[in-house]
Amino acid sequence: MKNSEVAKALYEIAALLEIKGENKYKVAAYTEAAMRIENLQEDIEKLYKLGKLNKIKGVGESIGQKIAEYLETGKISYLEELKKEIPPEVLELEKIPGIGPKLAYRLYKELGIKDIDSLEKAAKEGRIRLLPRLGEKVEQNILEGIKQFRQSSERIPLGIALPIVEEIISYLSNNPYITNITPAGSIRRRKETIGDIDILITTKDMERVNEQLLKLPILKNILAAGTTKTSIIVEPGIQVDFRVVEDESFGAALQYFTGSKNHNIKLRELALKKGLKINEYGVFRLSDNKKIAGEKEEEIYEVLGLQYIPPELREDQGEIELAMQNKIPILIEEKDIVGEMHSHTNWSDGMNTIEEMANYAYKLGYKYLVISDHSQALGVAGGLTPEQIEKQRREIYELNKKFKDFRIIHGIEANILSDGNLDLPNEVLEKFDIVIAGLHSGFKQSKEKITERLISAIKNPYVDIISHPTGRLINKRPAYEVDLDAILEAAKETGTILEINAQPDRLDLCDLDARRAKEKYGILLSIGTDAHDIRSFSLIRYGIFVARRAWLKKEDILNTYPWEEVQKRLKRAKLNAKNL
Ligand SMILES: [Zn+2]
Ligand SMILES: [Zn+2]
């Protein structure tokens, strides 16, 4: 069917007419015709051959001729003429927040600006402010808009995308016309960054859903609102695609649109070997095209002879082979976590008191909370001196008298200095219940040097956990250069635990590294939120996502154990045993 091609050409005509400042009814006529054709059930070529183009609502004589021309020649001369007048790249300018069609056209006509790069250049050179009625303010807004646009064209961190999806789904949750609504794609696989957001819907009336979406508080604009697909842009400039699927294909569509591509390719091959065909509508027998599964996602795997595969594992990294043998591991879940391993209070750079943090952790149902404020070398974060540490220990001792079934653990996040030493002597470190050590400076050192520093900290008998082991910040700062295998080897030899830092911009170790740490080196990992306020305890789920994508089970994560069991797994336990 050429329906979507034809629709696209008509949308393009509408956009170019709009830029030219043509009569708005003319623009609307092309937009409407494009939308009707996009949502048409019948094949437009068939209608044309039957001479029934005028039966399509919104298609009059003039638009009908253009459609006919497209179907005959693959081109519309009217569109070609428009393109000669305005290069289609000018349409790109409208992607910049604050630039509408009128301004885009003026920038092109009066300054010859054809794309975003030349727009940026003109703004920086102060040429836009010279145009009548534009001025410096507009120029500044354009530069700000370009910055926003460039940021939003990067992949979106899961920590930004997931709350948006949850907001949209909760906003639509009271819509009586929706029977199913769920995210698909990389967001459902909990990848650390997302391209576009895909949401699947089953509904009896998508037009009603579209009506409600028009009032979505975070809506920026609507790109297309059809009965099979709707695309919108939400603050802060993120595209969300809604795909409407049938109830009886919901499971198949969910499986298909969840991906990953490689996982699905392998499933398709497996299906063919079994005489089956699999697509977004269902699983079909090749012999008679009979549909044998599709409503529930679990069925898709079942009819292929596979154990159900959790979305986080669907990356074609060995999961299909294991599912054939019924050996998919039982992955860790959020409810398995019984304590928080990494948190900061207002003793250093946190927002809340120890007591507030403890009360909140207790309310969440945790059995313990590790307070791990920064130590003295991190002056900017109010790092603690040995004297302050003594005072803090007394406060924790007193507070612990208040709790039953819950314990505040006195820890520290010590700094690994540029020579590999820690910023507190061993006599101080030994008195903590647990010691976390991390790199917070000197990221630009050579790979050898940074590796040496970390290994030297790992070899310290009082360092139990290394926090955020690679130092990366997603979309902001790459990991420092480090020989990760040497680090993993040293951690394995010394029994040092490595952290999965659950801050959404860290997620460090990442999924692949965490999997390697466990599978190749047998290293125990901990998940810490690095909370600097009570609200951040909830970030634990992002650490769980990483752990699940790393194939980790409950027993692979330190803070699924009760505190007494945690203690036995710390290096200092061996040291204490020796000293007895
Ligand atoms: Zn840190
Ligand atoms: Zn920290």
Structure tokens belonging to residue 455 = 């290994």
pLDDT digits (tens, 9 = 90+) for 8-27: 899 889 888 988 888 888 98
The answer on 375 and 319 residing in a single domain is no
Distance 372 CA to ligand 2 centre (A): 7
Mean pLDDT lowest for which of 155-159, 390-394, 497-501?
155-159
> Which one-letter DSSP state was computed for residue 480?
P
Q: Is the per-residue pLDDT at 176 higher than 90?
A: yes
In a domain, 53, yes or no: yes
Distance 440 CA to ligand 1 centre (A): 6
In a domain, 167, yes or no: yes
Distance 549 CA to ligand 1 centre (A): 23
Mean pLDDT of the chain, nearest integer: 93
In the chain the first and final C-alpha atoms are separated, in Å, by 80
pLDDT digits (tens, 9 = 90+) for 34-50: 888 887 888 999 999 99
In a domain, 329, yes or no: no
In a domain, 83, yes or no: yes
Distance 357 CA to ligand 1 centre (A): 18
Measured distance CA(436)–CA(340) in Å, rounded: 13
End of a domain among 244, 269, 298?
244
In a domain, 37, yes or no: yes
Distance 485 CA to ligand 2 centre (A): 23
Give the pLDDT of residue 401.
Answer: 97
In a domain, 430, yes or no: yes
Residue pair 560/338 in contact by the 8 Å Cβ criterion: yes
Ligand having the closest approach to the CA of 372:
2
Give the pLDDT of residue 220.
Answer: 80
Distance 106 CA to ligand 2 centre (A): 51
pLDDT digits (tens, 9 = 90+) for 307-328: 999 999 999 999 999 999 999 9
The answer on 184 and 138 residing in a single domain is no
Any idea which residue has 């937009």 for tokens? 31
Any idea which residue has 């696209």 for tokens? 8
Distance 530 CA to ligand 2 centre (A): 5
Burial 343-377 (b: 16+ CB within 10 A, else e): bbbbbbebebebeebbbbbbeeebbbbbbbbbbbb
The answer on 234 and 359 residing in a single domain is no
The answer on 421 and 528 residing in a single domain is yes
Q: How many C-beta neighbours within 10 Å does residue 112 have?
A: 9
pLDDT digits (tens, 9 = 90+) for 513-536: 999 999 999 999 999 999 999 999
Q: Is the per-residue pLDDT at 153 higher than 70?
A: no
The answer on 202 and 96 residing in a single domain is no
Cβ neighbours for 42, distance < 8 A, ≥ 6 positions apart: none
Distance 548 CA to ligand 1 centre (A): 23
The answer on 82 and 43 residing in a single domain is yes
The answer on 230 and 106 residing in a single domain is no
| 389-402: average pLDDT | 98
Distance 342 CA to ligand 2 centre (A): 6
- CATH number of the domain that residue 95 is part of: 1.10.150.110
Residues with CB in 5 Å of ion ligand 1: 438, 467
The answer on 528 and 418 residing in a single domain is yes
- CATH number of the domain that residue 471 is part of: 3.20.20.140
Measured distance CA(86)–CA(84) in Å, rounded: 6
Distance 373 CA to ligand 2 centre (A): 7
pLDDT digits (tens, 9 = 90+) for 98-135: 788 888 888 998 999 988 889 999 999 999 999 888 88
Distance 397 CA to ligand 1 centre (A): 24
At residue 93's C-alpha, the angle toward residues 88 and 95, to 5°, is 110
Distance 363 CA to ligand 1 centre (A): 25
Distance 424 CA to ligand 2 centre (A): 16
The answer on 258 and 290 residing in a single domain is yes
Distance 372 CA to ligand 1 centre (A): 9
The answer on 290 and 413 residing in a single domain is no
Distance 415 CA to ligand 1 centre (A): 8
Give the pLDDT of residue 580.
Answer: 60
In a domain, 120, yes or no: yes
DSSP string, 233-265: EETTTEEEEEEE--GGGHHHHHHHHH--HHHHH
- For the chain, what is the largest distance between any 2 Cα atoms, rounded to a whole number of angstroms? 96
- CATH number of the domain that residue 169 is part of: 3.30.460.10
Q: Which runs of consecutive H residues, i.e. helices, occur in 112-173?
A: 116-124, 135-152, 158-172
Ligand having the closest approach to the CA of 469:
1
Distance 511 CA to ligand 1 centre (A): 19
Distance 414 CA to ligand 1 centre (A): 9
Give the pLDDT of residue 452.
Answer: 97
Distance 236 CA to ligand 2 centre (A): 28
The answer on 545 and 397 residing in a single domain is yes
End of a domain among 324, 359, 390?
324
Cβ neighbours for 183, distance < 8 A, ≥ 6 positions apart: 165, 169, 197, 198, 199, 200
Residues forming beta bridges with residue 199, ordered by sequence position? 183, 242
Distance 399 CA to ligand 2 centre (A): 22
Measured distance CA(429)–CA(415) in Å, rounded: 12
Mean pLDDT lowest for which of 78-92, 182-196, 286-300, 551-565?
78-92
pLDDT digits (tens, 9 = 90+) for 523-577: 999 999 999 999 999 999 999 999 999 999 999 999 999 999 999 999 988 777 7
End of a domain among 130, 152, 174?
152
Distance 471 CA to ligand 1 centre (A): 9
Residue pair 358/391 in contact by the 8 Å Cβ criterion: no
Distance 158 CA to ligand 1 centre (A): 21
Domain span at residue 162? Answer: 156-244
Number of domains in the chain: 4
In a domain, 113, yes or no: yes
The answer on 404 and 307 residing in a single domain is no
